């Protein structure tokens, strides 16, 4: 009776849900960050079987390297206890709180182009609000660490206005523009999300300890890195994709010529969402990156919250005085594109939507499924159709504006 617990005994009384959660958490620590090959394995054999394969090193060649270093570290239960002690939680793709809609695009990117192109395995979350609700309407505001008084002021105005209008401000908690964006949202009692490049227990930068504590109080601190993970240079680049994924669009306020903000913009564009940049004095080095992105067509120019919502916000009916509560008003990116490609009356085959939108077949299928989940479209033997064709003109008009 006092013998060591056998591995089998350890799982006695553990529900499937628990087992899956432990598998996600175990894998999160093994790969520390995005791993497209592991995501693919999970997609094909399921998370529990994938965890077993990693543990036993019964792996394809591509996965041996990424898992080699930490596959022996199985401290999932302790990690879960740790995040609980911090008042946080881990959110996995199995959870209702998982922002599935937001993550769709990341899973559709080609990992051959960028090794980081993968959905995070889990998100470690601190804060009381629901992640899925907090990211329903959200804009990322990012920029230079070495910001100027002008940049700080512009960020305060823009992020404050977005937050006051009920939009979540997503940023990276860095010095300069990021910190200012969070503070502006907090100042108006708005919602803000800090996405970290380290474990959820690590305040980074350490001088933002207090700011991060305030964000945990009324907003959310989110990271894909398990507790205890330190920041590393490549974490920032991978982190930026989560900032982009959690928002309807990315706004850059001040960026030097080699700013990391350009990387966030790259993710944003790859996800099919609007990237935006705020101009500044041409005499200011801190605005050079913004001007360059605008000039090279990488970002739209925006000067105020209204411009940002024009680009990234809900598509609006142009009928005067009509403010419809239709869910399709919240469409953007591929969702809006695909929805607009469906006829106002009748059905359409995915093949025709592919031809119209220029998206890949897999993107169209995934997007149609996502639209189906929220009840905007359905399919019959003739193809896909809109469940409510009444607002056709508004969505199409908004799409036209972006062509």
* Least distance in angstroms from the C-beta of 249 to its own copies: 15
Q: How far is the CB of 284 from its own copies (least distance, A)?
A: 9
Cβ atoms of residues 353 and 384 within 8 Å: yes
Does residue 298 belong to the site contacting its own copies (CB under 8 A)?
A: no
The CA distance from 397 to 143, in Å, is 32
Within 13 A of 205's CA, how many CA atoms are on the CB side? 7
- The stretch near its own copies (CB under 8 A) out of 77-85, 86-94, 210-218, 283-291 is 283-291
In the complex, the smallest distance separating the C-beta of residue 114 from its own copies, rounded to whole angstroms, is 26
State yes or no: residue 93 binds its own copies (CB under 8 A): no
Beta bridge partners of 379: 384
Between 278 and 353, whose beta carbon lies closer to its own copies? 278
Residues 13, 25 contacting (CB under 8 angstroms): no
CB of 303 vs its own copies, minimal distance in Å:
4
Least distance to its own copies from the beta carbon of 345, Å?
33
| Region near its own copies per CB under 8 A, out of 68-76, 80-88, 272-280, 357-365 | 272-280
* Binding residue (CB under 8 A) for its own copies from 14, 78, 128, 295: 295
Tell me how far, at minimum, the Cβ of 230 lies from its own copies, in Å: 37
Nearest CB to its own copies, comparing residues 31 and 294: 294
Q: How far apart are CA 349 and CA 335, in angstroms?
A: 16
| 301 is a site residue for its own copies (CB under 8 A) | yes
Among 125, 141, 243, 294, binds its own copies (CB under 8 A): 294
Nearest distance from C-beta of residue 208 to its own copies, angstroms: 26
Answer yes or no whether residue 278 interacts with its own copies by CB under 8 A: yes
**Residue 243: other Cβ atoms inside 10 A:** 26
Does 303 bind its own copies (CB under 8 A)? Our answer is yes
Say if residues 111 and 117 touch (Cβ distance below 8 Å).
yes
| Residue 180 to residue 141: CA distance in whole angstroms | 9
Stretch that binds its own copies, among 42-50, 116-124, 125-133, 291-299 (CB under 8 A): 291-299
Q: How far is CA 314 from CA 165, 332, 357, 394, in A?
A: 13, 7, 20, 11
Q: To the nearest whole angstrom, how small is the minimum distance from the Cβ of residue 149 to its own copies? A: 11
Q: Which of 24, 167, 225, 300 binds its own copies (CB under 8 A)?
A: 300
Tokens of 173: 């908690």
DSSP, collapsed to helix, strand or coil, labels residue 132 as helix
Residue 304 near its own copies by CB under 8 A: yes
- Region of 46 on the Ramachandran plot (φ > 0 left; ψ -120 to 50 alpha; else beta): left
C-beta of 304 vs 316, nearer to its own copies = 304
Q: Decide: helix, strand or coil at residue 365.
A: helix
Rg (CA), the chain: 22
Answer yes or no whether residue 279 interacts with its own copies by CB under 8 A: yes
Under the binding rule (CB under 8 A), the answer on residue 262 touching its own copies is no
Chain-centre distance for alpha carbon 68: 28
> What pairing do the DSSP bridges indicate for beta strands 123-126 and 383-386?
unpaired
Contact string (CB under 8 A) for its own copies, positions 334-363, x = contact: ------------------------------
Question: Min. distance of Cβ 141 from its own copies in angstroms?
Answer: 13
In angstroms, rounded to a whole number, what is the distance separating the alpha carbons of residues 156 and 184? 5
Sole binder of its own copies in the list 140, 238, 288, 377 (CB under 8 A):
288
How many residues appear in the chain?
403
Using CB under 8 A as the binding rule, the residues of this chain from 134 to 153 that contact its own copies are 150, 153
User: Least distance in Å: CB of 45 to its own copies?
Assistant: 47
Q: Are 37 and 29 in contact (CB under 8 A)?
A: no
Beta bridge pairs of residue 348: 384
Three-class secondary structure assignment of 232-280: CHHHHHHHHHHHHHCCCCEEEECCCCCCCHHHHHHHHHHCCCCEEEECC
Between 157 and 214, name the residue whose CB sits nearer to its own copies.
157
Residues that bind its own copies (CB under 8 A): 150, 153-154, 157, 278-283, 287-288, 291, 294-295, 300-304, 307
């Amino acid at each position: 009776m006092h013998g060591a617990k056998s591995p089998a005994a350890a799982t006695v009384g553990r529900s499937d849900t628990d087992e899956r959660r432990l598998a996600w958490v175990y894998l999160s620590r093994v790969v520390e960050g995005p791993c497209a090959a592991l995501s693919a394995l999970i997609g094909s054999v399921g998370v529990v079987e994938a965890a077993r394969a990693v543990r036993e090193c019964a792996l394809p060649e591509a996965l041996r390297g990424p898992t080699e270093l930490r596959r022996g570290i199985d401290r999932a239960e302790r990690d879960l206890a740790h995040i609980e002690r911090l008042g946080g939680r881990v959110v996995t793709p199995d959870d209702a709180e998982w922002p599935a809609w937001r993550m769709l695009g990341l899973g559709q990117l080609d990992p051959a182009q960028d090794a980081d192109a993968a959905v995070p395995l889990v998100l470690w979350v601190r804060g009381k609000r629901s992640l899925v609700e907090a990211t329903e309407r959200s804009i990322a505001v990012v920029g230079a660490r070495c910001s100027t008084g002008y940049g700080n002021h512009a960020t305060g105005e823009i992020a404050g206005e977005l937050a006051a209008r009920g939009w979540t401000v997503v940023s990276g908690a860095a010095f300069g523009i990021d910190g200012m964006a969070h503070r502006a949202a907090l100042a108006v009692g708005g919602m803000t999300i800090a996405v970290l490049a380290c474990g959820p227990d690590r305040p980074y930068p350490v001088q933002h300890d207090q700011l991060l504590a305030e964000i945990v109080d009324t907003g959310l601190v989110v990271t894909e890195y398990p507790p205890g993970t330190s920041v590393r240079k490549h974490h920032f680049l991978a982190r930026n994709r989560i900032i982009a994924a959690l928002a309807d669009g990315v706004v850059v306020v001040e960026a030097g010529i080699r700013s990391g903000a350009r990387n966030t913009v790259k993710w944003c564009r790859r996800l099919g969402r609007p990237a935006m940049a705020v101009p500044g004095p041409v005499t200011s080095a801190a605005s050079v990156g913004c001007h360059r992105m605008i000039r090279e067509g990488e970002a739209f120019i925006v000067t105020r919250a209204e411009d940002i919502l024009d680009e990234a916000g809900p598509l609006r009916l142009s009928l005067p005085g009509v403010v419809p509560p239709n869910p399709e008003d919240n469409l953007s990116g591929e969702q809006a594109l695909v929805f607009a490609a469906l006829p106002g009356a009748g059905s359409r085959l995915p093949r025709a939507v592919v031809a119209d939108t220029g998206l890949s077949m897999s993107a169209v299928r995934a997007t149609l499924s996502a639209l189906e989940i929220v009840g905007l479209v359905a399919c019959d033997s003739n193809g896909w159709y809109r469940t409510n064709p009444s607002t056709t003109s508004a969505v199409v008009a908004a799409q036209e504006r972006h062509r």
